[in-house]
Structure 1
C-alpha cells in the first residue's frame, strides 16, 4: 500500500538530510538537486526527444563532481510559447511521483535568447522548493553529437521511481560556448569576462571527458563568428587582470586540485593548461587565432 504524501515528505527529507551530512554538502543544495532530478525525470519521461538539457545541470549529469547549478537550462526546437505551455501541462498532469510542479508565467530573457520561468515543487501539500528554468530556442544547427546519459540517483527509495536518461547538449558545442565566453568583452569599456566557473568546467572536461577535436574546433570557430570576436588566443591565457586575484576563490570552491588554485603557480598567467594540455589543441588548430609569441 502506497504511503501518504506527508509520510513520503518526511521520509525523503530525512534521507536527503543524511545524504548531505554523510557527504559534507549543503542541505539546501542537496534538496534542490533532488527536486530538479525529479522534475527532469517527469519532463523526459513524457517527451524523451522534445528537449535538450544544457547548462550546469547538464554538466553535472556528465560529471557528478562538477559545480552544481541551482537552475535548469532547456533547449527546444519548437516555438518557445508553445514549448512552455506544453511543459506546464506536462509537469502538472503527469503524476509520476508524489511531487506536484507548477510552472509560473514566462518572462523574456535579454537579447531575445528565450524565456525564464519559476518552477514550484510541492510535496505533501506544502511547497518543498522552487527554482528557475530558462527555455531557449535552437539558434543554429548543433555541431557535436547529442548524447544520452542517466540522471545520477542520489538516494535509493521505493517512494520515487528511478530517474530517466536525458539528451545532453553536445560537448563540442558546450566547449565552444565556454571558450568564446571567456574572451568575449562587455560594454563600451570592453570589460573582460568574469566567468571563472567556465574555466573550472573546461578544466574538468579536459581531465575527465573524451573530446572530439574536429567537431570542437569547428564549434569554436563558428561560435567566434557568431559572437563577432576578432580572434582567439592560440592557447588559453588570462582573459583579464582580475583573474590573477579572483580565480583562487572559484577554484577552491570546485573539485579542482590545490595545484590549480594559484593562478601564477599553475601557469595560468602564461599559456594556460600546461597541467592539462588537452584543450590547447582546440585553440591552436582553430583557423583564426592570435599568435602566442
Structure 2
C-alpha cells in the first residue's frame, strides 16, 4: 500500500504542522504525535494484549494533565517474558503507511518503584524515514491485577495529522489507577519513611477535577490494592506532611489548577474523594461529580 505522504520529509512536516496547530509546547506536542503513532500500532485492529496505564493513560483522558516522556503498560493476561517481548516487537513493526518505524534496542527486567510488580523496561528507537527521533521508553508491568475491564477510548490528547490511520487506546480502569495512587501515597516505606511519590497527589487532583467514577468501584479497587501490598486498610487519607514546602512549586510546574496548587487544598480534595471509599457508612450508589467536587447520588 502506498504511503499517506510521498516522502519522510513531507510526513515530518505534516507532524510538525499538526503539533504547532495543537497550540501546545511544540517539542512536547511533536513527541506526543510520535508516541501516538507507536500507540496506534500497539492497539491496532482491536489488539487487547496490552493496556495503557500511568501518566500516558491519564493524558489520554485529560489532555492538560502533567506531561510524561514514558509509556506505562500492563500485560492483559498471563504470558512469559519471551512471549511478551516477541509480541511487543511484532506490533511495533506494523506498517501503518506513515514512514514511522520502531526498533527494540534494550530490554531489562526490574521491579516497580514500590517493589510489588515485575517490570520489563524497554527502549524502542524511533525513526521517521532514516532519521532517528526521541526514543520510546516503556515500563511494562507483568503482573497487574485489574478489578474492572479496561476501557477503550479515543485519546483526548491525540495530535491530529491529516490522512493517517488511527486507533483507540485500551486504558487501565480509572478506579484501579486511583487505588494505585492512593496506596502509593499512603504506604510507609522501609525504615518508616513516608512516600516520596508527590506526583501521585498531583494526578489525584487532576482526576478529581475532570473525571466521574463510582464509589463502589473505587472502594473495591482500594481494598484489592491494599491486599496486594499487604497494607492495612487506612481509616482516612493523609498525604505526607514532608511534602508541604515543595508541593506548590511542583504542582504549578505540573499543570495543577491554581485552586488546588497548595498542599492543603490538594490534600483536602483528595481526602474528600478517598475518605468516602474508606468509610463503611457511605452509600455504594454514589458517583463522584468533578464539577461540584463531591460525591452525589447516581442520577436515575
1:45-64 → structure 2 map (5 Å cutoff):
45-46=44-45, 48-64=47-63
Q: CA deviation at 1:93?
A: 4.2
Q: Structure 2 vs 1, CA of residues 223 and 101 (structure 1 numbering), >3 Å: closer, same or farther? A: same
**Counterpart Cα distance in 2 of 1:184 and 1:94:** 43
The alignment's TM-score, normalised by the length of structure 2, stands at 0.82
Q: Structure 2 vs 1, CA of residues 94 and 246 (structure 1 numbering), >3 Å: closer, same or farther? A: same
**Counterpart Cα distance in 2 of 1:208 and 1:95:** 33
Question: Which residue number corresponds to residue 227 of structure 2?
Answer: 225
Does the 8 Å contact 1:58/1:169 carry over to 2? yes
**Counterpart Cα distance in 2 of 1:138 and 1:31:** 32
Spell out, residue by residue over 1:220-261, the C-alpha distance to the aligned partner (whole angstroms, 9 max, x if none): 112112222234242x3232x321101112221233322222
Does the 8 Å contact 1:206/1:279 carry over to 2? no
Question: Which residue number corresponds to residue 250 of structure 1?
Answer: 250
- For the pair 1:185 / 2:188, whether they are aligned, the reply is yes
Question: Which residue number corresponds to residue 176 of structure 1?
Answer: 179
Does the 8 Å contact 2:120/2:139 carry over to 1? yes
**Counterpart Cα distance in 1 of 2:109 and 2:148:** 28
Spell out, residue by residue over 1:20-66, the C-alpha distance to the aligned partner (whole angstroms, 9 max, x if none): 6x33x2x3322221111110101111452111111111111111121
Q: How many residues align?
A: 272
Give the RMSD, CA atoms, in angstroms. Answer: 2.4
Question: Which residue number corresponds to residue 71 of structure 1?
Answer: 70
**Counterpart Cα distance in 2 of 1:281 and 1:96:** 49
Q: CA deviation at 1:136?
A: 1.7
Question: Which residue number corresponds to residue 149 of structure 1?
Answer: 153
Q: Structure 2 vs 1, CA of residues 212 and 114 (structure 1 numbering), >3 Å: closer, same or farther? A: same
Gap regions ≥5 residues in structure 2: 283-300
The alignment's TM-score, normalised by the length of structure 1, stands at 0.84
**Counterpart Cα distance in 1 of 2:36 and 2:42:** 10
**Counterpart Cα distance in 2 of 1:283 and 1:255:** 28
Farther off after superposition, 143-152 or 176-185: 143-152
Q: CA deviation at 1:174?
A: 0.8
- For the pair 1:273 / 2:273, whether they are aligned, the reply is no
- For the pair 1:121 / 2:123, whether they are aligned, the reply is no
Q: CA deviation at 1:113?
A: 0.9
Q: Structure 2 vs 1, CA of residues 267 and 257 (structure 1 numbering), >3 Å: closer, same or farther? A: closer
**Counterpart Cα distance in 1 of 2:148 and 2:194:** 28
**Counterpart Cα distance in 2 of 1:285 and 1:70:** 39
Question: Which residue number corresponds to residue 131 of structure 1?
Answer: 136
Gap regions ≥5 residues in structure 1: 288-293
**Counterpart Cα distance in 1 of 2:209 and 2:37:** 29
**Counterpart Cα distance in 1 of 2:105 and 2:245:** 40
Spell out, residue by residue over 1:8-31, the C-alpha distance to the aligned partner (whole angstroms, 9 max, x if none): 223323442x246x33x2x33222
